[in-house]
A = this chain, B = another copy of it.
Amino acid sequence: MATVTAAERRAEAKRAYDAYVAACPSRKLLDTLSDKWVSLVLNALADGSKRYSDLARTIAGVSQKMLTQTLRGLERDGLVTRTVTAAVPVRVDYRLTSLGESLLPLMAAIKQWAESHIEDVEAARLRYDADSENSP
C-alpha cells in the first residue's frame, strides 16, 4: 500500500523546518531569550551578584525547578556565572558575565517599554473586546 503521502509529507516538512532552524541558529537563541523567566532573572541580576534564595524571593511565583533550570541554561549560554562558596550552609551566588551585561540593557528596555505602555495596551484590549461583543 502506497499510503506514504501523509507520513512522508509530515516527515519531509519536519526535516525541512529543522534544517531551516539549524541553518539559522539565531532563531533558537531568540527562542531562548523569549523565555519568560529568562528576562525576569536577567533583570533581577541587573544590580550585581545575588544568591539563589534572593533570586527566588525577588522573582515571586517562580518554582525552584524553573529557577534552577533557567539559571543552568543561562550559565550554559555564558550569560551568568555560578559561584559556590563552601560554608556551613552552602552559599551560591549568581552574577552576569560581560556577555550577559551586554544583553541586559535590551531586556531592561523591553521591561521598561512594557511598564510604560501597559496602559495603552489595556485600553486597546478594552476597545477590542467591546467591539467583539457587538458583532456576534
A6 CB within 8 Å of chain B? no
**B interface footprint on A106-117 (CB within 8 Å = 1, 0 otherwise):** 100111011101
Chain B residues with Cβ below 8 Å from A31 are: 36
Q: How far is the CB of A127 from chain B (nearest CB, A)?
A: 8
Q: In chain A between 17 and 60, which residues have their CB closer than 8 angstroms to a CB of chain B?
A: 17, 20-21, 25-26, 29-31, 33-36, 38-40, 60
A77 CB within 8 Å of chain B? yes
A111 to B31, CA, bound (A): 10
Please state if A109 and B106 are interface contacts (CB–CB under 8 Å). Answer: yes
Please state if B17 and A60 are interface contacts (CB–CB under 8 Å). Answer: yes
**What 4 A-B pairs come out closest when comparing CB atoms?**
A78-B124, A29-B114, A34-B36, A26-B115
Hey, which bits of chain A sit against chain B, CB under 8 A? 17, 20-21, 25-26, 29-31, 33-36, 38-40, 60-61, 75-79, 99, 102-103, 106, 109-111, 113-115, 117-118, 120-125, 127-129
